[in-house]
Amino acid sequence: MRDYTISSMKGEPVWGSLRHMQRDSVDFLETCGALGDIVNYRFVNRRMVGLHHPDLVKDVLLTRHELFVKKGIYSRMNAVFRNGLLTAEGEFWKKQRRIIQPSFTRKNLNTMVAAMSEEAAGFRDELLESADSNQTVDAFEAMLKIALRIITKTMFSNDVSGRHREIAEHIYAINAFLKHRNFSYVPLPTWIPTPSHNRFRHALKSLDSIVMELVRERMQREDPGDDLLGMLLKSTDPETGKRMPMHQVRAEAITIFITGHETTATALSWAYYEMAKAPKLAEELYQTVDAVFGSSVPEFTGEAMKELGCLDNIFYESIRMHPPIYVTYRQAAKDVTLGGVRIRRGDTVHISPLIANYDTRYWNEPESFNPQRFKGGAEGDDKFVFFPFGVGPRSCIGSHFALLEARIIMTTLAQALKFELVDPHFVAKPEPLVTLKPRSPLPMRVRRR
Ligand code: HEM
């Protein structure tokens, strides 16, 4: 067996490392990552183990994934996701994944290109207005807006036209709740009427009733349609031929809706930040897009996609430096030995793309933004070293959706405009909450190209 470096983090007398994690989880993960391949620590009386080696990532997320389950932090999130794909476990999760997976195949995603392109074009026109009036935009807010519009359109077509703002407000309130809940040691039950619980319950109830109304209405149609909601309603379990019950369609729709936009928005806003810092690299993207599409409306065929390697490299390099999902947890379902260390049933392990993506054993000068590193698989080819979308059976179901969306938005914008930082010396810091988003606004000016 390989020799792993094994160490421990002492932390504070009662809290262990919990307060360090709550105060600054990036600093905590970095400190922990620097201590070795396997690092023992605790959150109060809960034993935690950090795993910082590709073979251990493979072990937990792939080879022995059935022994490492999504409990603890994930069970808390069920107040929102109610056993949707992200938080479900065991046989039930397996069945749901089997049912939903076909909706995310490349063939099905092709049916969403038109909706994504239409939203991206509308977004580009709004940004051009900002350019003409010399307004400052917050790149994160802007990307959140377009990502929310795209998931709304691909999920519900035009059924929610005019309700975008209302939906966005509910989603923000739900996200705010999730952020605080993830970081508390013993979260209060949501029925206790604190102001934040009240806001959360109101938002969830309202979003629920919008989604249920749409589901009911669609179920009465002969054909529920080809958008994501239609696909969820039509999909059947390949083993039993059965459809999902209505409450599960609701849970999956809300899960995909929430998981499917802040992650992509975070990735895109970092990509625009990095491009603004490296205008020569951004120029390369404009030249590529001009060469492939000129000024005509882009058609995202397989051939065109192959020409967009430089865009993909920028996107991958951004999510390497700023992985939207920067840490994931699993709980041991049984006593198990990992890299020679005994993990007891109930212990929690963490795996962090953020730590893996800066590991100098696998990356050359990881602190520098260098999209070229992905060219021809020079770096980042090992899926247990670079796993921004997770790896193994519980990896992201929406990774192709996200990449398609990024290509469509970045191409559509590149044809017409570019972003510049208002202050070229501005250094953005990450805020590690549900995703690793920028801590403060990213003030940018939009310029016509
Ligand atoms: C850049 C964008 C995205 C990133 C970086 C990302 C990252 C991830 C990661 C790392 C996981 C695995 C988490 C774990 O192992 O604990 C995951 C799971 C998931 N993602 Fe994404 N995601 C992105 C976009 C999307 C989109 C666009 C959708 C839907 C349209 C989506 C839906 C989901 C779902 C439903 C799961 C749970 C899958 C399961 O457990 O079976 N994600 N994502």
The domain limits of the chain are 1-82+326-356, 83-325+357-448
Ligand 1 test: best mutation among 73, 255, 259, 261, most atoms within 8 Å of CB? 259
Which pLDDT belongs to residue 195?
Answer: 86
Average pLDDT over residues 224-246: 90
- Residue 396 marked in a binding site: yes
Is any atom of ligand 1 closer than 6 Å to the C-beta of 330?
no
pLDDT at 245 over 80: yes
Ligand 1 centroid, distance to 284 Cα (angstroms): 29
Cα angle at 270 between 85 and 408, to 5 degrees? Answer: 70
Lowest mean pLDDT among 53-62, 234-243, 298-307, 325-334: 298-307
- Residue 401 Cα: closest atom of ligand 1: 27
For the stretch 42-66, pLDDT in tens is 999 999 999 999 999 999 999 999 9
Ligand 1 centroid, distance to 261 Cα (angstroms): 10
Which pLDDT belongs to residue 190?
Answer: 82
Average pLDDT over residues 243-265: 92
pLDDT at 432 over 90: no
pLDDT at 196 over 90: no
Q: Would 1-82+326-356 and 83-325+357-448 be classified into the same CATH topology?
A: no
Under the banding of pLDDT at 50, 70 and 90, the label for residue 186 is: confident
Which pLDDT belongs to residue 166?
Answer: 85
Which pLDDT belongs to residue 409?
Answer: 97
pLDDT at 214 over 90: no
Average pLDDT over residues 116-121: 96
Pick one of 3.30.70.1060, 2.70.70.10, 3.30.43.20, 2.60.40.420 as the CATH number of 1-82+326-356. 3.30.43.20
Lowest mean pLDDT among 140-154, 180-194, 268-282, 352-366: 180-194
The protein residue whose alpha carbon is closest to atom 13 in ligand 1 is 390
To the nearest whole number, what is the mean pLDDT of the chain? 92
Is any atom of ligand 1 closer than 6 Å to the C-beta of 263?
yes
Ligand 1 centroid, distance to 358 Cα (angstroms): 21
Ligand 1 centroid, distance to 7 Cα (angstroms): 31
CATH architecture of 83-325+357-448: Orthogonal Bundle (1.10)
- Residue 395 Cα: closest atom of ligand 1: 12
- Residue 252 Cα: closest atom of ligand 1: 35
Average pLDDT over residues 349-364: 97
pLDDT at 185 over 80: no
Greater confidence, 238 or 289? Answer: 289
Greater confidence, 442 or 182? Answer: 442
Is any atom of ligand 1 closer than 6 Å to the C-beta of 84?
no
Is any atom of ligand 1 closer than 6 Å to the C-beta of 400?
no
% of the chain residues with pLDDT over 90 = 71
